[in-house]
Chains A and B, each alone.
Chain A
């Protein structure tokens, strides 16, 4: 029973992190119908920013370590905007869907390898400082790590904030308009390019928050940290229904659970294979995902 409960908590924690990343995938996909392969690498950017800013925060300013996330969010947003401006926008304006896709893969590789080429980062993994001091809560006989609670709370809060942003603000309305019909949105006075840029910035900021929560639990940052995390989060986004915010959250939690239960009860080597199998099965049975809308292709 204890194993079951602790596995459940690990699953919830992992799932919350996947959900945070999946939200970024879903937002960008919803608006430009393209998978941003480089999204996973925004996590890496955020992670390294945290590694470099957290010592400054604690030693020079005396603030808690997690406040470094402010810088991580800023840097990630800038990188996200740059990727859109330098690569995706020119290709989207003149190329086909295929060339946009290839550009996205290339951008992901560029970010990963560029990070290695920067002397301060280098190819070796870096160990960040402790973010949340180790402590735990005991509730009705179950011990829960505080980091786990923070992760779940933060992911939930982000989800609520994002839903409010999309549903209640004028920017959110613009986003929904662009995702539904770009030409009509332009006619209604929405600046499509600016909306897409802002979406990239928000998606990348979510990746920075995910990076904070991830390295709080697994304190190791390396240049390919984002590729497997990003891929699993993508699986989560597809599972929940890409383009749907609650879907991303649900998908993230399911994937997190699946992974932690496979590791606990079957084998840790099979965890990744299992996650990809889920993806394949979902794509075959219901390609639009659990909460996705089925759109018919018209000629």
Chain B
């Protein structure tokens, strides 16, 4: 058995054990009817799940292909609205009444798939013209597309207040057919975890395949890649569509754990946790070109956001600190600038985290530190 296979087996085994432990933990908590678990831990798991998918999918474009796209939240919006409206339509048609059982599972699969597919389709339409440009122009054009997407959803007559009914769509889509209550979130939490695992695995397979090698070659030198016979525009559009698909899936997860949707959530720079800049912060922090880095950074940034929003330490801090932390985007953008200036490669750089390499990595880091302390 090669070292690579051993590594895969080890990682899979550890993930499986962790899932099993979480399963028993959840059951015991459910029996004990622990309120903190239901209202705080489980929603956090859901949020982490879609943040992980989002940052990993953005990393495909930003980190592995080296193109800055700021339309990711637009694709997420498409996924969220598609899945919510679709499930709502099924509910109105009487296909399912309570959120469990076979019929609901079918609807769930359908709406997740459609969310991803529609986002991918829009990604194709956006990507073919947009990816002819690069650098600053690509950033601006994707910014424009992101705004157009949100603008269009705003003007859809059927995405209004009550969903599927006439109404001004700029406000929320209430009575979301897919929206889970806190109890249903506990019941369906493995759906979120499994979808995340599935998505991340597929993305890993993508970057380890010949496609992944091709897009990394494009990142390093576009002209050289073209000279080696790589069809640059084909691979660029392919990766863009691939990434949009997963952004759509993340959007569907988002609409599952939120009772209501509003297009304001998906704009370029709002003050909530979800916007395209926040995603860029996650990718840069984790390391452009490291999927595991994106996962770690997504969880870290989620915890930081929680720490800022709900931390009790804040009320005892001086006034000006409180004011600054009242605007989390300020903190995130400062983090972004600091990371880019002082550690441009982020936490992991181009490397992936793997348990089999852990002892060797630790040894290396430790010896490096020792060397520094000794003044070598």
Contact = CB atoms under 8 A, between A and B. Distances in A.
Q: Of residues B277, B280, B333, which shows the largest number of chain A Cβ atoms within 10 Å of its Cβ?
A: B333
A234 B223 CA distance: 28
Interface string A212-228: 00000000000000010
Interface in A68-100: 87, 90-91, 94-99
Interface in B139-198: 139-141, 143-145, 147-148, 151-152, 155
Given A106-B333, A109-B277, A283-B141, A273 B341 contact: no
Contacts of B336: 102-103, 106
A103 B147 contact: no
B135 interface: yes
A227 B136 contact: no
A20 interface: no
A276 B148 contact: yes
Contact of B327 (A113, A297, A299): A113
A197 interface: no
Contacts, number: 113
A272 B147 contact: yes
Interface residues of B, number: 44
Interface in B264-284: 268-269, 271, 277, 280, 284
A35 interface: yes
A284 interface: yes
Contact of A103 (B136, B139, B223, B340): B340
A102 B340 contact: yes
A122 to B, nearest CB: 10
B330 A117 contact: yes
Given A98-B68, A284-B129, A269 B155 contact: yes
A263 interface: no
Contact of B337 (A103, A238, A279): A103
A238 B137 contact: yes
Contacts of B100: none
A110 interface: yes
A116 interface: yes
Contacts of B280: 102, 105
A177 interface: no
Interface string B324-341: 101101101110110011
A279 B144 contact: yes
A100 B22 CA distance: 42
A34 B155 CA distance: 34
Nearest to B151: A273
B323 A119 contact: yes
Closest 5 CB pairs of A and B: A113-B330, A276-B144, A109-B333, A106-B333, A106-B336
Given A119-B323, A283-B129, 6 more contacts: A101-B136, A103-B336, A106-B334, A117-B326, A231-B143, A280-B145
Interface of B: 62, 66, 68, 70, 129-130, 132-133, 135-137, 139-141, 143-145, 147-148, 151-152, 155, 223, 268-269, 271, 277, 280, 284, 288, 323-324, 326-327, 329-330, 332-334, 336-337, 340-341, 344
